[in-house]
Amino acid sequence: MFGVGGQQTTTRRKATGWVDAAEMDSTLKCYVHPRPCFDRAAAALEDDKVVVLTAPSGSGKRAGALALIRGFIEDDRCVVLSPDSTLDELAKREFQTGLGYVLLDRRNEPLAEPDFAWRQVRDRLRADKAFLVVTTVHDLPANPETVQHIEWRTPEPKQVLEARLRGCEPTLIDEALAGLPGDCTLRDAVAVADLLISGVTPAEAWERQGGNAVQVVRKWFTEARTLSDYSAITTMAFAVGSNRRTFETLQKQLDDRLAPPEPKAAEPAELAAQEAKPKPEPAFAPVYDRRRVLKDNPLVATQELPAGTITRSVLVFADPRYRQWVLDELWETCGTPFWDAVRDWLTDVVAENTDELLELAIATGLAQLARTTFDEVMHSYLVPWASGRGRRACQTFAVQVLWCMCLDEDLAGAAVSVARDWIANGSVVQRSTAVVAFGGMLGVRFPHDAVKRLWHQVEFGGSVSAAAQEHLGYLFAALIECDEDATVVTELLRHRMRLQRRTAVTSKIKELTFQTVIGLLELLDWESEKPVCAIALAQQPAVTSELAELCARVLVFRPHRTEAKAALMKIVKALPETCSEPRLTAQRFGRALGLALPAQERQLLFDALHPRRDPRNDDLAGVFLLAVRKPEDEPNHE
């Protein structure tokens, strides 16, 4: 679970791939068409088959792109392409006739690209009779020529609220409109409408969604504040959820960073005079004041969290929404020396930290800071940490920040572009950092980008190749855990195995391919310590035939046959602990493997592993091997 924007989320929906009719219906329910920019974009899409929408994040470009596409496509679904797609890749892509494509938050190239690059994309789409809508946060180019770039306008929140509440009681609509704040965003209006439909009163709905959170934070910053006040609220922004002792230790470390430089050493005569003065009693006021000032801070609250049979008392923001606004105000009111101190402080904390909750708090804090100032997070934290400046923990932490960013719809495109740049053009350390990122949550959000980038490092990554092999397996496990389609990994490996089938000589690429497959078959789940492939067979039956083909090709390749047999039997033996119907799953997997193996190989495998010849194997192994030997027989479900 990652918390971004003051709300915890377990959203793991992949950011690319098919958008089906149900998702489009949900997104476009009560959609308000912003005129006249929507009409201009529709006309451009009809003429050129491609149009670019430019607007800041949170302007409703995704919904607008889906609404535009839906008016032109034959099928009631479309494909979301990776924001990492280049114009050259788009121009060479084969688009499906009559299908709609959306490319959200394109960031990896400037818009002032040669006109012929856009012309190639347009001509490709015209030839394939497909449609593409591109969205970007970049400014409108000065002279858009071949492909029109249209400045997207957000519908008025009042219009959105009225559209979504159509059919409700008039008094409810009137009360909701009366509470509409002047700085209401499109997302706030949608969220409030959903709350009202669920039965929440207008006053409570507006309070939940925004209320006066912005004004409370801004008022706090306009009042006279000490440096200790600023260090406390900064510590809270990056260490929310810490207990008091941890919090005060962290604040003391930041105070030391923010403290003015020590004065010059006194002359001997001055030192003697100081020694002659009576010594004051030890002052405990600074320590006491730090806790008292925090207690009097209206932005901070204490929360009791259950921890087994006891509760933990932690410090949090009085309203979770305060966090983003605090970061915004800190960036607007504090200068470079302050942020240099924060950077050095966080780097030290990250390098020495062993607390996973604190790690998550800092990572989500930096992800939220990236909303305010992406350049600061990129150049002061991500690049130095991913480049190995500091301890290894900092490199790992750069991955954590990217994972938190990719869960934010507005930052996901930026996160994948950063990792793409590291893996394509970075140093060895940066490439290894990107490999880890693509092997986890970033890969779950952008699976096709991940497998493409990881496999390129397997083949050409040099010293990073082994890590890329390993993290392809980790990506497979993460997709299984997040209930996303894991066949994106197995399909890649099947394709690579088929390419090597024609090669009799064991080349370097062929050996790397087989090593990667063996690594996947042997991979254990970190928590249960059961084979990940056994979990996959239980949770995603669609992966059965693909795993069977991979196993078959490794079994036929004699140099790795022994490893493959051992991994295969571990998978089968783990089925009783990973699925509810182990016999049926074993039979299904055995039949798929038998169909993938040549006839003579089936009998060889049966003779080598049959329970009568190896008493260590249980009856389930016999069921599996019988299905391998005679896959054409009807399975026995008794």
- What confidence score (pLDDT) does residue 353 get? 80
- What confidence score (pLDDT) does residue 10 get? 40
- What confidence score (pLDDT) does residue 272 get? 67
The dihedral through the CA atoms of 391, 393, 399, 404 has a sign that is: negative
Domain ranges of the chain: 2-31+33-151, 157-211, 212-258+289-372
Q: What angle do helix axes 532-539 and 508-522 make, rounded to 10 degrees?
A: 70
Q: Say how many C-beta atoms besides its own lie within 10 A of residue 202's C-beta.
A: 20
Give the CB-side neighbour count of residue 111, counting CA atoms within 13 A. Answer: 23
Asked if pLDDT for residue 13 goes beyond 70, the answer is no
pLDDT in tens, 129-172: 999 999 987 765 655 567 888 888 887 888 888 888 887 888 88
Q: Which 8-state DSSP code applies to residue 557?
A: S
CA-wise closest residue to 135 among 103, 92, 181, 168: 103
> Chain-wide mean pLDDT for the chain?
84
For 504, phi and psi rounded to 5 degrees? -75, -35
Q: Which residue has the higher pLDDT, 215 or 11?
A: 215
Q: Which residue has the higher pLDDT, 2 or 597?
A: 597
Q: How confident is the model at residue 225 (pLDDT cuts 50, 70, 90)?
A: confident
Q: What is the 3-state secondary structure (H, E, C) of 330-394?
A: HHHHCCHHHHHHHHHHHHHHHHHCCCHHHHHHHHHHHHHHHHHCHHHHHHHHHHHHHCCCCCHHH
pLDDT in tens, 59-78: 778 888 998 998 888 778 89
- What confidence score (pLDDT) does residue 279 get? 57
- What confidence score (pLDDT) does residue 29 get? 78
What is the maximal distance between C-alpha atoms in the chain? 102
Residue located via tokens 């994948």: 416
- What confidence score (pLDDT) does residue 347 get? 93
Asked if pLDDT for residue 221 goes beyond 90, the answer is yes
- What confidence score (pLDDT) does residue 612 get? 58
- What confidence score (pLDDT) does residue 282 get? 46
Distance CA 378, CA 418 (A): 9
Rounded mean pLDDT, 501-520: 81
- What confidence score (pLDDT) does residue 504 get? 55
Give the CB-side neighbour count of residue 503, counting CA atoms within 13 A. Answer: 14
Contact 59, 186 (CB under 8 A): yes
Task: Specify the pTM.
Answer: 0.83
CA distances to 70, 150, 277 from 27, in Å = 12, 22, 75
| Answer CATH for 2-31+33-151 from 1.10.3470, 1.10.10, 3.30.530, 3.40.50 | 3.40.50
- What confidence score (pLDDT) does residue 203 get? 83
Contact 513, 493 (CB under 8 A): yes
Cα 601–602–604 angle (5° rounding)?
Answer: 60
Asked if pLDDT for residue 585 goes beyond 80, the answer is yes
Q: Which residue has the higher pLDDT, 610 or 53?
A: 53
C-alpha 271: how far from its chain's center? 58
Residue located via tokens 């790690």: 359
Asked if pLDDT for residue 280 goes beyond 60, the answer is no
Of 187-201, 268-282, 594-608, the range with the highest mean pLDDT is: 594-608
Rounded mean pLDDT, 558-572: 90
Number of helical (H) and strand (E) elements in the chain, helices listed first: 33, 10
Rounded mean pLDDT, 605-624: 71
- What confidence score (pLDDT) does residue 16 get? 82
Q: Beta strands of 250-356 (E only): which ranges?
A: 300-307, 310-317
Asked if pLDDT for residue 637 goes beyond 50, the answer is no
Rounded mean pLDDT, 323-343: 94
- What confidence score (pLDDT) does residue 537 get? 94
Q: Say how many C-beta atoms besides its own lie within 10 A of residue 488's C-beta.
A: 19
Least confident of 3-12, 89-98, 212-221: 3-12
Distance CA 279, CA 497 (A): 80
Q: Which residue has the higher pLDDT, 567 or 58?
A: 567
List beta partners, residue 306: 311
Q: Percentage of the chain with pLDDT > 70? A: 86
pLDDT in tens, 389-421: 767 788 889 999 999 999 988 888 889 989 999
- What confidence score (pLDDT) does residue 9 get? 39
CA-wise closest residue to 205 among 184, 185, 216, 191: 191
